[in-house]
A and B are shown apart, each in its own frame.
Chain A
Amino acid sequence: MASSAGPEIERLIQLLSRLPGLGPRSGRRAALLLLKRKDQLLRPLAEALAAAADRVAPCSVCGALDSCDPCTVCADPGRETGLLMVVEEVGSLWAMERSGVYRGRYHVLGGLLSALDGVGPDALRIDALVSRVAQGGVREVILGLPATVDGLTTAHYVSERLAAGGVPVTSLARGVPVGGELDWLDDGTIAQALRARR
């Protein structure tokens, strides 16, 4: 495509286009907005990006992303130290934090076991989880993993690895979501909900 802008602008558009939700056209619009509002948006964004690139790293305890190590959640004395939730990725942790209902700590696995894709236990932070639980102080491990074949395979594997430690392992419930109408649910969710009725 013929370029009508300088290489710096083209580079900016190219990079913005790679962001989730943006394509070449919306990347161009975002670049134009940033360039028009240099002081209010472009410079603060550039500084924020540089700071994030310099300072944000995985927490050495739980694997979450933060600018301090241990991360804010791990270092928070107000958290329940006895509760440990195992999640697939940082996005799951953020979703749980957004809900505000959980006050324990986390362990981010960094993915899921996948026999089909050849992702084995060594590729995930499962050994770190087992060591963490073995150190003591955890009274319940909650598996906050997706209700998919890979998610449940991982959940079973983690449960087996933790079984020797004697710490109870629980899983998030599966079934009808809040506001969910049965008419719109898939058969698998309805069947799971029926099996887990109480």
Chain B
Amino acid sequence: MEWEDDAYVLSARAFGESGAIVELLTEGHGRHAAHVAGGASRRMKPVLQPGAQVVARFRARSSDQLGAATLEPVGEGPSALFDDPLALAGLAAAASVAVGALPEREPQPGVYLAFGALVQTLTLTDLWPAVFVKFEAGLLEALGFGMDLSRCGATGATDDLIYVSPRTGRAVSRSAGEPYKDRLLRLPPFLLGAQAGLQPGDIADGFALTGAFLQRHVFDPLNRPLPPARVWLLDKLQDADRL
């Protein structure tokens, strides 16, 4: 099998003396691992950073082989984020969540586009945490565990939706959720529409919401905790008073 596709590097680890095993998030072939010959070389090391955009040419004799890839860098890569510790933590967390949550070799063009949008946004300090939450919400949807935020799961109301049921993943209105508010997850307005502004606590609510569903539907069945990089990101956002 042989293909060429746009991709983002999610992770890379050394293999042998000069090679690397690279995890890619490709547009048309999903999360895909490949051996990159010369991956430890001076020329390739800058390309094999999480978040680097590449054109990948993949070749394997059969579909059950790991296969080999050559990577051609596109654009600057993550070096634009090098001076921003929070953005670096965001990039590592996004890559970790994608590596941990996405099944291998299952095309997810929507997740690819959302990951790309997040990487591009990481230079916009005030904006990207909300984009990160939206990325995770989109990831859940792509994996079949999307939340239904269109109307209240109890009354059918379409306005004043401020909670999400942790059991059903459906939105709940203020009035219907009032008696159960301690057990419901808070729904930040920015997940309902692009026009909603960010209020204090919205980002924390968003991370708690997507984190709860990622944990329950994606990582618990794999018997794994949420990625440490995501936990670390939340700690850093908390320390920077950005939650």
The CA-CA distance from A192 to B73 in the complex, in Å, is 16
Interchain CB contact under 8 A, B228 and A120: yes
Query: Which residues of A121-148 are within 8 A (CB) of B?
Result: 147-148
The CA-CA distance from A117 to B91 in the complex, in Å, is 14
The CA-CA distance from A30 to B73 in the complex, in Å, is 39
Which residue from A20, A114, A149 sits with its C-beta under 8 Å from B91?
A149
Interchain CB contact under 8 A, A153 and B89: yes
Min Cβ gap B233→A in Å is 8
The CA-CA distance from A114 to B233 in the complex, in Å, is 12
Interchain CB contact under 8 A, A156 and B85: yes
The CA-CA distance from A20 to B17 in the complex, in Å, is 7
Residue B51 interfacial (CB < 8 Å): yes
Interchain CB contact under 8 A, B79 and A115: no
Residue B64 interfacial (CB < 8 Å): no
Query: Which residues of B32-77 are within 8 A (CB) of A?
Result: 43, 45-47, 49-52, 73, 75-77
Interchain CB contact under 8 A, A149 and B51: yes
Min Cβ gap A33→B in Å is 21
Interchain CB contact under 8 A, A116 and B11: yes
Given contacts A116-B92, A116-B96, contact A188 B46 (CB under 8 A): yes
Given contacts A21-B17, A116-B95, A187-B76, contact A149 B49 (CB under 8 A): yes
Which of A118, A149, A157, A187 gathers most chain B CB within 10 Å?
A149
Give every chain A residue within 8 A of B89 (Cβ-Cβ).
115, 153
Residue B222 interfacial (CB < 8 Å): no
Q: Closest residue of chain A to B43, judged by CB?
A: A186
Give every chain A residue within 8 A of B180 (Cβ-Cβ).
none
Give every chain B residue within 8 A of A188 (Cβ-Cβ).
46, 52, 73, 76-80
Given contacts A21-B17, A186-B73, A188-B77, contact A115 B51 (CB under 8 A): no
- Chain B, interface residues (CB within 8 Å), range: 35 or more
The CA-CA distance from A1 to B91 in the complex, in Å, is 47
Residue A81 interfacial (CB < 8 Å): no
Interchain CB contact under 8 A, A157 and B85: yes
Which residue from B50, B73, B228 sits with its C-beta under 8 Å from A149?
B50
Min Cβ gap A76→B in Å is 31
Q: Closest residue of chain A to B12, judged by CB?
A: A116
Give every chain A residue within 8 A of B46 (Cβ-Cβ).
186, 188-189
The CA-CA distance from A191 to B75 in the complex, in Å, is 10
The CA-CA distance from A148 to B77 in the complex, in Å, is 11
Interchain CB contact under 8 A, A115 and B17: no
Given contacts A186-B47, A189-B46, contact A149 B92 (CB under 8 A): yes
Residue A174 interfacial (CB < 8 Å): yes
Given contacts A148-B49, A149-B50, A149-B51, contact A116 B79 (CB under 8 A): no
Q: Closest residue of chain A to B79, judged by CB?
A: A188
Query: Which residues of B118-136 are within 8 A (CB) of A?
Result: none
Which residue from B17, B49, B91, B228 sits with its C-beta under 8 Å from A118?
B228
The CA-CA distance from A120 to B228 in the complex, in Å, is 9
Which residue from A21, A116, A189 sits with its C-beta under 8 Å from B99?
A116
The CA-CA distance from A147 to B229 in the complex, in Å, is 19
Interchain CB contact under 8 A, A191 and B85: no
Which residue from A153, A156, A192 sits with its C-beta under 8 Å from B79?
A192
Residue B3 interfacial (CB < 8 Å): no
Q: Residues on A close to B: CB < 8 A?
A: 20-21, 114-118, 120, 147-149, 152-153, 156-157, 160, 174, 186-189, 191-192
18 intermolecular pairs with C-beta atoms under 8 Å apart: A115-B89, A115-B228, A116-B95, A116-B229, A118-B228, A120-B228, A149-B50, A149-B51, A149-B91, A152-B82, A152-B83, A157-B85, A186-B47, A186-B77, A187-B77, A188-B78, A189-B46, A191-B79
> 4 shortest A-B CB distances, which residue pairs?
A115-B229, A156-B85, A188-B79, A115-B92
Given contacts A147-B82, A152-B88, 5 further A-B contacts (CB under 8 A): A20-B17, A115-B232, A116-B96, A120-B228, A149-B50
